[in-house]
Amino acid sequence: MFKTMKQGARIIAIAVTLIGFVVMVGWFFDIPLLKSILPGWVTMKANTAIGFILSGLALWILYERKRRHSWRMVAQISAALVLLIGLLTLLQYTFNLDFGIDQLLVKESVDAVATATPGRMAPNTALNFFLLGIGILLLSNRRPIHGVIHSITVVVFLIAFLGFLGYVYGNAYFYQYGSAFTAMALHTAIAFILLCLSVLFATPRKGMMSVLTQDNAGGLMAQRLFPTVIILPPAICWVILLGYQQEIYTAELAICLLGILNVVIFGVLIWWNARSLGKIDQRRHQAEFALKEANEELENRVKERTEQLVQTNDQLTVEIRDRKKVEIALKENNQKLKTLIKELKSTQLQLVQSEKMSSLGQLVAGVAHEINNPVNFIYGNLVHLEEYSQNLIDLVEMYQQQYPETTPEIEDKIEDIDLEFLLKDIPKILSSMQIGANRIREIIQSLRNFSRMDEAEVKEANLHQGIDSTLLILHNRLKAKPESPAIQVIKEYGDLPLVECYPGSLNQVFMNILANAIDALDEFYNQASRNTQKEMSRMIAIKTSCDEDWVTVSISDNGIGIKPEIRSSLYDPFFTTKPIGKGTGLGLAISYQIVVEKHQGDLSCLSEPGQGTQFIIKLPKRRGKAIQSVDSTQELQGDYALPERH
């Protein structure tokens, strides 16, 4: 459609130029039929014909992409002459002057039809040429403002269309504003209408035309209604006027008929368009309904699978409880067997944890290693790519400065690829890629720090690094979601030395405690009322400190808290307060074993229902140090207060 409209604009420009030439031939050889459409009708003046020749020629040059300096100068000079012809004629009418331009080329008799001054074009014709000259000059710029050009074109169209309707209705006032002024000829009005269509069709995707040609419901409605709005009301008025002139009905009845016909015709048009748009909307609703059904089917499948998993988990839970009963019975019968089972369970937990951490570490380290190489390759080449791109951009800008006049093919390519936008957007793309590469490198480094594949033995480690890596892995659970706000993490890190420890095991402790804190905050938020939720701020506070022999890490939340009756069972294997399917009861048991038994440290908990929970981890700086007997609860409660609830 767009190519057809552009081709039509070229053809119309040529047609208007030919109209001007035909009229000029009529003047030079005194052929009345070529000067006016019918004998006794208003003639198109010679200056008017020259204006149409210049206007059509300028538009044809611009449409044919003759963007060389000489061709563009021809178009601009032609437009300027059109503007000048209109301006001088308007000045003659306004100040009752005669610049001698009316009969400069040919002479016209003083008794010409509807002509105040021989050879002088009508004032509305002069105004149209003045406006068209401005519009064509704006169109010849390298970056024309299509909204302004189209606005000027619409004004010219309305003036010409009014003159055309004057001939259709037989009302001279529409094309001649009194006996002191020359009238606009019928073919002059038609030529102006054609010129306006040429300007509008030349840029169908710009300015006002973009609304009419867009491929959506609004564009479809505009394409259907605009031609009808332009053609049908004048046609109805003509029919009504014809009946009135034939004295078929009175003026009052004519007005009533006009109102009724307008209501009926435009009602039908609105119904027709509403029906078409309704069908489009109905298809959209059908698609939405089909999508909804597919989504419900998927949800049902997920629900069925979840129920199956819950049943399986319930069976496992029952089996686990039966096993605990058997263990209790065995402990009651034989103390020695009780000790053996306890040791066996401890060994089993260690093996499971060791195997899980080993597998996780191998997977994370392997993925990080495989991603690290291509990321480093991309990151290393981004600097060169940025330099090369900037060099190419500088070269293109230098070409534009040194060779501003390019070939039509290059101009078409520049318009097709939107070169100006590319030159602005390429540096932004490279900057975004560099930011993304940096972010990937940071994530890879955090994954490698968390996996600690090279730290299976005791060694000195930075605890802050392990905490930060764990927070990065849990970032998705900390950020805001549609159903809950973000969790704010407050870090108050002290000046910690390197600690002799098993870094990978401690990372698992941080992971368990932080994950439990997030679960507690989610549960507390979900249980609160909507008004309370609006005032809530969810926080996790992490504070570290040290003295001569000990390093202390405090992790606090302002979540739901822990009831006093279950605090004593926190570190028991398989004990959990979470719903079935959400927890195994091994996280804190393993964490306690890692801190107390593996590192000779201390893991304590401070909590009150509705007031949040605080876990305090104490680790010796050097392994083998005697564990001092301290009441950690009394000593640390003042230094590591829970976050304030809001």
Which residue type does 445 have?
Answer: Q
Q: Are 381 and 430 in contact (CB under 8 A)?
A: no
CA nearest to 442, candidates 495, 334, 368, 364: 368
Instruction: Specify the pLDDT at position 280.
Output: 72
Residue (of 358, 363, 362, 345) closest to 586 by Cα position:
345
Give residue for tokens 């269309």: 161
Query: What pLDDT is recorded for position 436?
Result: 72
User: Tokens for 249?
Assistant: 């009905």
| pLDDT 10s digits, 148-181 | 999 999 999 999 999 999 888 888 887 888 777 8
Would you state the structure tokens that stand for residue 643, as one six-digit string? 């976050």
How many secondary structure helices (H) and strands (E) does the chain include? Answer: 20, 7
- The mean pLDDT value for 186-206 works out to 91
Residue 247 has pLDDT above 90, yes or no: no
Q: Which residues contact 387 (CB under 8 A, 6 or more apart)?
A: none
Contact 489, 531 (CB under 8 A): no
Q: What is the mean pLDDT of residues 45-73?
A: 85
Q: Pick the closest to residue 106 from 180, 154, 34, 172 (CA basis).
A: 34
Tokens of 309: 């998993």
Residue 629 has pLDDT above 50, yes or no: no
DSSP string, 423-445: HHHHHHHHHHHHHHHHHHHHHHH
Task: Report pLDDT for 634.
Answer: 35
Above 90 in pLDDT, residue 46?
yes
Range from 220-234, 283-297, 300-314, 582-596 carrying the lowest mean pLDDT = 220-234
pLDDT of the residue at 343: 65
Residue 339, Cβ density class (10 Å: 0-12 exposed, 13-18 middle, ≥19 buried): exposed
Residues 6+ apart with CB under 8 A from 41: 113, 185, 186
Return d(Cα 346, Cα 590) in angstroms, integer: 9
**What is the rounded distance in angstroms from the CA atom of residue 496 to the CA atom of residue 87?**
85
Mean pLDDT of 201-217: 76
pLDDT in tens, 83-110: 999 999 999 999 999 898 998 888 888 8
- The structure tokens listed for 393 are 């951009």
Residue 284 has pLDDT above 80, yes or no: no
Q: What is the pLDDT of residue 110?
A: 82
pLDDT exceeds 90 at position 24? yes
Per-domain residue ranges of the chain:
2-213, 215-328, 334-454, 461-623+630-646
**Single-letter amino acid code for the residue at 297:** E
CATH homologous superfamily of 461-623+630-646 equals: Histidine kinase-like ATPase, C-terminal domain (3.30.565.10)
Looking at residues 495-516, what average pLDDT do you find?
87
Q: Please give the Cα distance from 385 to 401 (Å, whole number).
A: 24
Is the predicted pLDDT of residue 226 greater than 80, yes or no?
no
- pLDDT of 604 above 80: yes
Three-state SS for 407? coil
Residue 350 pLDDT: 57
pLDDT in tens, 572-584: 766 676 665 565 5
d(CA 20, CA 51): 8
pLDDT in tens, 361-390: 555 656 666 676 677 767 677 777 778 788
pLDDT at res. 545: 94
Region 413-435 average pLDDT:
80
Q: Is 619 helix (H, G, I), strand (E, B) or coil?
A: strand
Three-state DSSP at 604 gives: strand
CA 43, CA 46: separation in Å to the nearest integer? 9
Expressed in angstroms, the distance from the first to the final Cα of the chain is 62
Comparison of pLDDT for 162 and 225, the residue scoring more: 162
- pLDDT for 16: 95
Mean pLDDT of the chain: 80
Q: Which helix (H) or strand (E) holds 617?
A: strand 613-620
Q: Is the pLDDT of residue 554 over 90?
A: yes
Under 8 Å CB-to-CB from 172, ≥6 apart: which residues?
A: 114, 166, 183
Q: Which of 382, 399, 644 is nearest to 536 (CA)?
A: 644
% of the chain with per-residue pLDDT over 90: 25
Report whether 76 contacts 50 (CB < 8 A): no
The CA dihedral of 527, 530, 532, 538, to the nearest 10 degrees, is 70
Q: What angle do CA 55, 60, 64 make, to 5 degrees?
A: 155
* Rounded-to-integer distance, Cα 240 and Cα 228, Å: 18
Residue type, 425: D
The residue ranking higher by pLDDT, 475 or 274, is 475
Q: Taking the model in full, what pTM does it have?
A: 0.45
Cα separation, 32 vs 44, whole angstroms: 10
In whole angstroms, give the CA distance from residue 288 to residue 454.
53
Cα dihedral 426/427/430/432 (nearest 10): -110
DSSP-derived secondary structure letter, 186: H
pLDDT in tens, 466-499: 898 888 878 888 888 888 889 999 999 999 999 8
How far is Cα 558 from Cα 485, in angstroms, rounded to an integer?
14
590 three-class SS = helix
Residue for token digits 């090369």?
A: 388
Mean pLDDT to the nearest integer, 590-603: 87
| Averaged pLDDT for residues 29-49 | 90
Quick one: what percent of the chain has pLDDT higher than 70? 82
